[in-house]
Structure 1
Amino acid sequence: MADPIDARRRFEALSPAFLEVTLPRASDFDAVALLRKGNPEEIARVPGRKNLFFDEQAKILITLKTSETEENLRELLSSIELVVTAHATDAVPQGNGNVASASGKHDLSSQTFPGSSFLDVVSVGDHTYVVFEPTLPLPRPRARLQRPAVYFTATVKLAADVRRTSRRNQKDYLKSYEPLPANVLEPLNHDPVLRGSNVYLSETRVTKVTPPKPISLDDVIKPIRGASKRAYPAVPALFTRIRYSTLPDSIIASLHVETSPLIAGTVDIKGVDFSLDKSPIEPLTAVALPLETHSGDETIFLYKIPSRSPKPSSQPRPLSATIDAVAKLAQGSIVNLSIVMDTYLDSSDADTSSKKTYTWSRPMNASSHHKSLSIQSINRPPTRDTTSSTAPEPGVIFTFTGPATTVINQDFTLQVQCNNCSPRSRRFALVMLQPRKPHRSTALSQNTQPDTADLIANIFNAPPLERIKPQDVLDLNPDVRISPLPAGACFDTMLKFRALKVGVLDLGALRIVDLEERRVVDVRELPEVVALEAES
């Protein structure tokens, strides 16, 4: 490493210097080749990324331009460091073709790279260019942003150890031609009681009380700063969630990985690591990796977690999932993705009991049971893996049974059995509630043609329209009435559906209405039915 005093002098001589931060669209873009051809202005004109993805490893191109000679600059690079920071903002568009303005700032990640990590140093004319190509992870922001956008800042400064050494070297010697402060305890040095002990107390300690000396501007080394010219819209490339299905002796954990519908290209899932208590779990699905997925595809990985004891433990167990993927975009970019999910497996949420208990809602009006889901159903995470459920009223048991598989565009039935073990007669009604998941029609690509409704909404500055997600099944049932059901009696009925898609079908929720007390309960833990393609 160069002498700290000399390194500081050389760093101060870099000014004026300029830092340019860009994100080229092409992953194989070679900035050094352009500089060697004598075309440094082409770096600013290179096509850039249109948008970024959370959980990606962003590849950033940083160019330092200075008038210092190449020889002096190479000697200085070992004494400097590059700090790259990613910030998330809530971007507010100002119209077509205008750069989005940012409101607020949330730091995503920041990393420091040594100056020796440069790609190359190239001299072009009277200027010297240093090319850096760091990689920075983009985690998801903690704050909830309506339209998140990410921009980058870069800072070149002296390394921390060089700054400390240069500051320490400046304090090795006292200032010239200044006497030392007097010792106010000097007369006591001749006292025989002290037996020749040398006592010292500076007069500045008792006669002068001043605040700390402010930092001189001459001691401050001004860093070189730069930032990206725009904020890049950012969206998740993969949506992930973990669900649990219970068995008498184990828990089946399903890791759902859904490719964003905004992806224009493919996403290759390279590896999936699923661990509990920092111990790997053997998967149940033998999926050959890498797995190529497209926009809107959903991949489910199944894992079997053995129960440690018959009784559920009150202590949550740490659960971790890591997904490594590569997105190959149609615009020519190759993006590396790394998603890490850290959560806890709560035994109360994954009870190995074969029966589920529900709570009735408050008494409702005569026509209100069709309007919305009950509070208990909304707050409870869906599992939909059991074949029987128990209502909270003692002695009333509902059991649901369905086929394991069916064929698309064909009908299948769900058997419902109600056992009234209570001492009084009961009256119930069964109503199927189809899932209503809002699906926003937003896209980052400019090639997407909006429909008339979206154009009208944009003219009047209305919020984005929400479309209902297509249903997995077609409900072919009228409202079913179970009344009167005497004490000790049993009632069986069949619910009929038609499969509309291939895969695991979402039947929605079954609402049980108590016609006497006007209370409802929503059952989401219905049997899982898998729809297969019709054989040709």
Structure 2
Amino acid sequence: MATSPGEPRTRTSAEFVESSVLEAVVPASSDIDLEDELQSWDGKNDDESGSILPFLLQRNVLLLDELLPVYVAFRTPLVDDETLKLYLARLVLNLEGYAFSTSPPPEGEPKPGPTKELIYSSTIKDTDEPTVVRHGKGDESHTYVFWKVKAFISRPQGRFHKPAVYFQPTASFKPASTPQKTDPEDEYLPNCVPTALNLLQAFENDPALAGVHPRLSAMRINKMAPSAAPVIREMVRPIRSGQRPLFRILPALIWRVRYAKVHTNINDLSLLASLDLEVASYATYDVLLKSVNLTLHGGTVQPYVNGPQDSEAVYKPGDQLTYIYKITPDIASDGTPTLGTKGHFLTMHVSASVLMSAATHPAIAITWNTPVDFASASQHSPNLLKAAHTLSTPSTNNPDALPPVDDAATAPTSAINVTLTISGPPRVRTGEVFTWTVFIVNRSKTIRKLAIRIIPKRSPQQLASQSSHTQPHPSSSPPPSPPSSPSTKKPLLAPAIVDENILYAQQKGARTATAELVCLTTDIRVGQLAPGSCFTAEVKFLATGRGVLGIEGVRVLDLGSGEVVLGRDVPSVVAVGEGEEDEDRE
């Protein structure tokens, strides 16, 4: 620390505040020593901006996601060391960084909301030791105090056109002493202090109270502010701030993450994550990538294709790098992701250094996360995933037994909560088209998008034909040799059909039976059915046979969630011929 030949003198706090200046500076050199730079300064000031450090070359461009060293410079006239130490202990310093637009948005774009946005804020702690330097002679002698703050240039939430950043340091002066509490803590009522007014004193002589003296202190009704000793405000006016230079901000890296499904079995919910990094071309700065990592909350991440691993490689503006990872969520016992559809987060960590010049190499630290929905990316319903997981999980009770079937995947569910009311004519004529009216009511609490389909009834001939197809037929191939054990009488496996002529004969000889009640409406689409609302649709049928005719059921599918409901309680109709109808009328 250099000592000027001028004699420092004791100054009052008011003089200290009025003659001091506060300013935030961002040096252009990353490895600067402000004490040496200040000592080598000859005192000339050719800068018209009014900076307290005119010799210091500052940055013009800042980078997003940069760990920026900002120096808070405080200049005051020369004072002695003891007085300076007392005044600095009472000084409260804050540093804030704001982002704003330097030009209006182009025509056609919406107007921006706030004019500026706070992207950084911190308070300098008392434990941060500043650097004190004395410089100058005579009336030009000053004391400089520097605090170094690591500011992170976060990305603003708003949309700014040609954004810029400025730093605003503020300082306040704490009082020299604070009033101490003179009342003892163990006393409920202090001595020699009159009690508060009794608001119920007028009811003391009321005969209905039978000698009871009610009391309600006025302190329970009125808020009594405690009297404090007057505090002398020593700060006449706030500490004056110096210039606030503007810094343009640009992104050094641009990234994008894309997902693709892995072509494996159904119960594998893994995804391929492609991370594309691009060095911004309009920044015109080379970038040295140090590390690129991906982590998944509630899962694992494995490199699928090895990306660039050279930590000393320097990439030019416009270069693109691709990293491919395989991300796998933790699976629950039912085959679904453990954290559901919104609990998995993919986090990217990138550490780099930007080579702006030989002396300027700022550090970049990017931490970005995004949710991943594995259930939607699988393109399969949750019930199908549960069934595939159950089938792929071996049974621990009996290794030779088949795994149990998941009822939730096969049985109809009532989670859709939709009511169907079907009405139609009780008697129809064969060969003529008639109509059923379907009244649909959404009783759930969510908006439904439904598809309704009529399932025809299979005739007994079709059922017999299907059962005959499933029976085993003799094969032209020789039967397998019996097992060597004499206790086994029947083979464990049925003989396989290897003769194509038998299969062709079965398919050609299969009889096709026509449906007696044909539905002419393939399906009904009901879109955006709000909770509690209803919809009426018409279904056309054609009776080709006579007698009591019906359908197998009505299948309701929720197009949003994939849930299916099969309703079998459907009406039947009586189909009669033309002559039979006339006989009934007679």
TM-score, structure 2 as length reference: 0.47
The residue number in structure 1 matching 2:70 is: 60
The residue number in structure 2 matching 1:29 is: 32
Q: Tell me whether 1:83 sits opposite 2:86 in the alignment.
A: no
Q: Which runs of 5+ in 2 are unaligned?
A: 1-10, 46-52, 105-113, 185-191, 381-586
Task: Select 2:58's aligned residue among 48, 56, 59.
Answer: 48
CA change 1:38–1:216 in 2 (3 A) is farther
Cα offset, 1:220, TM superposition = 8.4
Aligned equivalents of 2:27 and 2:57: distance in 1?
6
Q: Tell me whether 1:148 sits opposite 2:163 in the alignment.
A: yes
308-317 vs 72-81, which moves further: 308-317
The residue number in structure 2 matching 1:532 is: none
33-42 vs 148-157, which moves further: 33-42
TM-score, structure 1 as length reference: 0.51
CA change 1:10–1:268 in 2 (3 A) is farther
Say if 2:260 and 2:273, in contact at 8 Å, map to a contact too.
yes
Cα offset, 1:226, TM superposition = 3.2
Cα offset, 1:272, TM superposition = 2.0
Paired residues for 1:231-242 under 5 Å? 231-242=246-257
Task: Select 2:283's aligned residue among 255, 263, 268.
Answer: 263
* 3-state SS of 1:33 partner: helix
1:43-90 deviations in Å (ceiling 9; x for gaps):
323222111111111221221011243332234434444311110001
* 3-state SS of 2:36 partner: helix
Say if 1:327 and 1:334, in contact at 8 Å, map to a contact too.
yes
Q: Tell me whether 1:71 sits opposite 2:82 in the alignment.
A: yes
Paired residues for 1:40-439 under 5 Å? 43-67=53-77, 68-92=79-103, 104-125=115-136, 126-157=141-172, 166-167=177-178, 169=179, 172=182, 180=193, 183-185=196-198, 201=217, 219=233, 223-224=238-239, 226=241, 229-247=244-262, 248=264, 249=268, 250-277=270-297, 281-284=301-304, 285=306, 287-306=309-328, 308=330, 313=337, 315-316=341-342, 317-330=344-357, 332-348=359-375, 350-351=377-378
CA change 1:298–1:349 in 2 (3 A) is farther
Aligned equivalents of 2:314 and 2:363: distance in 1?
14
Task: Select 2:23's aligned residue among 10, 20, 24.
Answer: 20
User: Once superposed, what is the RMSD of the aligned Cα atoms?
Assistant: 4.3
**Corresponding letter in the other structure for 1:14:** F
Cα offset, 1:105, TM superposition = 1.4
**Corresponding letter in the other structure for 1:52:** L
**Corresponding letter in the other structure for 1:269:** L
1:413-459 deviations in Å (ceiling 9; x for gaps):
xxxxxxxxxxxxxxxxxxxxxxxxxxxxxxxxxxxxxxxxxxxxxxx
Cα offset, 1:335, TM superposition = 0.7
CA change 1:135–1:225 in 2 (3 A) is farther
Say if 1:32 and 1:131, in contact at 8 Å, map to a contact too.
no
Say if 2:76 and 2:142, in contact at 8 Å, map to a contact too.
yes
Cα offset, 1:334, TM superposition = 1.3
**Corresponding letter in the other structure for 2:167:** F
Aligned equivalents of 1:241 and 1:215: distance in 2?
62
Say if 1:77 and 1:115, in contact at 8 Å, map to a contact too.
no
Cα offset, 1:351, TM superposition = 2.6
1:158-217 deviations in Å (ceiling 9; x for gaps):
5xxx77x954x266479xxxx9555434998xx9x9x9x998946x777x8899999999
CA change 1:344–1:117 in 2 (3 A) is same
Aligned equivalents of 2:14 and 2:299: distance in 1?
52
Cα offset, 1:275, TM superposition = 0.7
* 3-state SS of 1:117 partner: coil
* 3-state SS of 2:29 partner: coil
Aligned equivalents of 1:39 and 1:105: distance in 2?
38
1:90-110 deviations in Å (ceiling 9; x for gaps):
1129xxxxxxxxx82110011
* 3-state SS of 2:359 partner: coil
1:318-364 deviations in Å (ceiling 9; x for gaps):
111111111111373111111111110112553367xxxxxxxxxxx
What percent identity do the matched residue pairs reach? Answer: 23
Say if 1:25 and 1:331, in contact at 8 Å, map to a contact too.
no
Aligned equivalents of 1:21 and 1:213: distance in 2?
40
Aligned equivalents of 2:37 and 2:283: distance in 1?
30
Say if 1:78 and 1:116, in contact at 8 Å, map to a contact too.
no
* 3-state SS of 1:263 partner: coil
**Corresponding letter in the other structure for 1:88:** A
Paired residues for 1:448-463 under 5 Å? none
Aligned equivalents of 1:279 and 1:153: distance in 2?
43
* 3-state SS of 2:37 partner: helix
Aligned equivalents of 2:59 and 2:41: distance in 1?
24
Q: Name the structure with the higher strand share.
A: 1
CA change 1:201–1:278 in 2 (3 A) is same
Say if 1:154 and 1:225, in contact at 8 Å, map to a contact too.
no
Say if 2:200 and 2:215, in contact at 8 Å, map to a contact too.
no
1:278-306 deviations in Å (ceiling 9; x for gaps):
66623231523244211111111221112
CA change 1:225–1:53 in 2 (3 A) is farther
Cα offset, 1:10, TM superposition = 7.3
Q: Which runs of 5+ in 1 are unaligned?
A: 1-8, 94-102, 354-536
Cα offset, 1:132, TM superposition = 1.6
* 3-state SS of 1:146 partner: coil
Aligned equivalents of 2:336 and 2:44: distance in 1?
66
* 3-state SS of 1:74 partner: helix
Say if 2:300 and 2:327, in contact at 8 Å, map to a contact too.
no
CA change 1:186–1:213 in 2 (3 A) is closer
